[in-house]
Amino acid sequence: MKKVLSFLLSGISVFLMLVMVCLLIFQQIEISRINATLETMQAEYLLLAHEMDNDNTEKNPDSQAVGDVQNAGDIQSASNIQSASDTISTSDTIDEGKDDRTEREEILTPDSSGDGVGYHGFLHFDGTVLKDQYGNDVSLRGVSSHGLLWFPEYTNPDAIRTIKEHGANVFRIAMYANDANGGYSLDREKSMDLMTRAIDNAKSEDMYVIVDWHVLSEQDPNVDIGDALVFFDEISKKYGDDPAIIYEICNEPNGATTWDMIRNYGNQVIPCIRNNAPSSIIIVGTPQFSYRVNEVVGFGFGFENIAYSFHFYAGQHPEEYRQIVDECLANNVPVFISEWGINHDAGGDEAYESAKRFVYFINERGLPWCAWSLCNKDECFSILKNDCNKLSGWNESDLTEAGKIVFEGLSGNNK
């Protein structure tokens, strides 16, 4: 009997020990989940605090927000594409990139505050020339974000203010339509939230905004036309004929996509936007990654205030842009350089010289343009160095060689 009782007690002891181990494991899991939730709540709170600080600065001109948005979230790499869309945090006491107005004014010239929406108002094309609501010629110069779901931190108000102080008056926001690394089709709610925040941040700095539906890997924009119609209907309903907003309906059609296929797409998307924004400028992508804009000649749309995109990458494309662009202008086809960049990997150091010649050309002609791209991604197209962690207040030492050429172009000094 004693042996049986001893055996039972031993079994009960083992059972209790197992229960205690299970409880401890469960407790650790719950603690980890709680910590993860708290971290997410903290990141959201800090982002909201940053936006409130900017609102307070606008309402009270005597107050000045201190600090830049700092990337303190988890930045994950997906095929060398960083994703910082889940966590964007702020810091009021960072040393690098601090928002010191006096220091900035010494670094950043000129200030284009008299060259934005408040000064020019509604834009339109008079033939091939971009004009403001008073009939004056307008030169739009700016930069493009990288994919909005990949690098949203560079759309913060201080970042946009920095490029404005370098001479920009337009900011292009790239919403990838359908990309495995992050696009509208994968997460509509987050995409729209980030897009409207970026638009409002740019508008708060008196900048024109290009809402870019970034067709690329899908080649034919008709592939995701359903999503495009939903996206542009929602954006155009929210902003309507806001003079700051420019719509770009397909970034770079490519592959076997013909101009007829793009026309079919445009004839559905353009009326969708026009229902809510009757007069806004709409940019339409063109074949072969928007390089063959001259294929539009004689076959453009019948809508008013339509421009056609031309993209150029120095070091990658031959320098036949003069002939291509001049053919369009001679045939009354408005050209918008909605994206250009520098492919040093393909062209070596000569790509930088080619880029300088291209910037001189487009500034001399007064063509509107945006350069790719405002981020620190480890690739030759980036404006910022890969080891630059500042999210605003950049100086020359923060820029790549490509970035230096872009910022020189923004200033207009190389015209």
Domain extent for 224: 95-411
Q: Is 234 an active-site residue?
A: no
- Residue 248 domain-assigned? yes
Under DSSP, is residue 374 helix (H, G, I), strand (E, B) or coil?
strand
CATH code for position 348: 3.20.20.80
> Which of 342, 348, 229, 248 is closest to 290 using CA atoms?
248
Let me know how long the chain is. Answer: 415
The reply to whether 347 falls in a domain is yes
Contact criterion met (CB below 8 Å) for 415 and 364: yes
Q: In this structure, what DSSP letter does residue 386 have?
A: T
Pairing status of strand 76-78 against strand 81-83: antiparallel
Q: What is the pLDDT of residues 318-349, one digit of tens each?
A: 999 999 999 999 999 999 999 999 999 999 99
Q: Is 34 a member of any domain?
A: no
Over the stretch 159-190, which tens digit does the pLDDT of each residue have?
999 999 999 999 999 999 999 888 999 999 99
pTM for the full model?
A: 0.76
Q: How many domains does the chain have?
A: 1
Q: Name the active-site residue from 165, 252, 295, 379.
A: 252
Q: Which of 205, 339, 379, 408 is catalytic?
A: 339
Show pLDDT as tens, one digit a residue, over the chain (415 residues): 555 455 555 666 656 666 565 555 555 545 444 444 444 444 344 344 444 444 443 333 333 332 332 333 333 333 333 334 433 333 332 233 333 333 333 333 334 458 999 999 999 999 999 999 999 999 999 999 999 999 999 999 999 999 999 999 999 999 999 998 889 999 999 999 999 999 999 999 999 999 999 999 999 999 999 999 999 999 999 999 999 999 999 999 999 999 999 999 999 999 999 999 999 999 999 999 999 999 999 999 999 999 999 999 999 999 999 999 999 999 999 999 999 999 999 999 999 999 999 999 999 999 999 999 999 999 999 999 999 999 999 999 999 999 999 999 999 876 5
Would 24 be classed as within a structural domain? no
Residue 138 counted as domain residue: yes
Q: Would residue 292 count as lying in a domain?
A: yes
Q: Could you tell me the two tokens for 362?
A: 């487009």
Q: The dihedral of CA 13, 16, 21, 24: what is its sign?
A: negative
Q: Check if 339 is active-site.
A: yes
In a domain, 144, yes or no: yes
Residue 39 lies in a domain: no
Cβ–Cβ < 8 Å for 190, 226:
no
Give the C-alpha separation, 39 to 297, whole Å. Answer: 54
